[in-house]
């Protein structure tokens, strides 16, 4: 199977490329300098030249707070770029695997969100991701998988555990919110699931996130403990931080589909992440 990976220089894209190579797949990996997905002509050329069986789109605007003041730029990447890729893939007979977000939900549930739950994003970022889902479904109605995931972390880019590790090594005390609950997802695990979905050509929307759930506060404590650091983690409320973008208070994802890939518990993902971090330092 030949895979075209966009956003291959990012955290998730890097791990998808690694997983594809490990699986013996033929991977064409393009970072932003190699392909700007907002350029429809360039996307058409890239897909035509690569002749892939599937396109896995890891390119995205990921600055949640920044999207509040730059919605158009977020939409160009997360909606228009996603649509460009799906359209070009469909025209060349390739399957599209598009990565979306738990932020398409408003967080008012107290039990896990399923694929059939109504969407209602709170933030500009969440709206841009939902618009991307709609653009993909319209551009490739019979040849797409939309994968909603949650709280990604990995070794190849900025992520919450890395921020905590750095802060806990520099300070005696960190303050972390305890009123947002989600599913931390190790990109090394998600990458393999995306390749599986590309091969299976699973249609429609599917939720794929780390097993279990926790708050950012609980995740921070696990990171500090795993690293053997002594920094104290103090809980705080989201409202105290005065962030530009609202976040869903509860965005745990689970799948109601029997054909959905199941990922390991987030703690297993954290253990693998920490082992890799140690080996890279």
- Residues annotated as catalytic (active site), given as ranges: 125
Is residue 153 helix, strand or coil? strand
Q: What is the per-residue burial (b if ≥16 Cβ within 10 Å, else e) of 151-178?
A: bbbbbbbebbbbebbebbeeeeebebbb
242 to each of 74, 165, 216, 239, 271, how far by Cα in Å?
21, 23, 16, 6, 31
Nearest to 252 by CA among 221, 214, 204: 214
Query: CA 12: distance to chain centroid?
Result: 7
Nearest to 98 by CA among 11, 245, 236, 202: 202
Which residues are CB-contacts of 130 (< 8 A; sequence separation ≥ 6)?
100, 104, 119, 121
| Residue pointed to by tokens 């797949």 | 25
Which residues are CB-contacts of 276 (< 8 A; sequence separation ≥ 6)?
155, 188
């Amino acid at each position: 199977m030949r895979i075209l990976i966009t956003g291959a220089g990012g955290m998730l894209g890097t791990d998808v490329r690694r997983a594809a190579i490990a699986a013996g797949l033929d991977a064409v990996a393009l970072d932003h300098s190699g392909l700007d997905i907002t350029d429809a002509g360039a996307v058409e050329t890239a897909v035509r030249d690569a002749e892939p069986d599937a396109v896995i789109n890891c390119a995205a605007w990921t600055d949640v707070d920044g999207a509040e003041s730059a919605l158009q730029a977020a939409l160009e990447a997360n909606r228009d770029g996603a649509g460009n890729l799906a359209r070009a893939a469909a025209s060349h007979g390739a399957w599209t695997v598009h990565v979306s977000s738990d932020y398409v939900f408003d967080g008012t549930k107290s039990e896990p969100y399923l694929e059939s739950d109504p969407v209602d994003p709170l933030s500009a970022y969440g709206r841009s991701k939902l618009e991307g889902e709609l653009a993909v479904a319209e551009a490739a109605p019979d040849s797409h998988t939309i994968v909603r995931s949650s709280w990604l972390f990995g070794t190849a880019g900025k992520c919450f555990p890395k921020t905590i590790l750095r802060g806990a090594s520099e300070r005696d005390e960190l303050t972390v919110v305890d009123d947002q609950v989600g599913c931390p997802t190790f990109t090394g695990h998600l990458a393999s699931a995306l390749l599986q979905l590309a091969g299976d050509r699973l249609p429609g929307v599917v939720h794929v996130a780390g097993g279990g759930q926790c708050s950012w506060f609980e995740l921070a404590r696990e990171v500090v403990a795993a690293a053997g650091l002594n920094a104290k983690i103090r809980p705080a409320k989201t409202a105290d931080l005065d962030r530009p973008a609202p976040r869903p208070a509860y965005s745990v994802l689970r799948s109601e589909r029997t054909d959905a890939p199941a990922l390991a518990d987030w703690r297993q993902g954290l253990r693998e992440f920490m082992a890799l971090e140690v080996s890279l330092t």
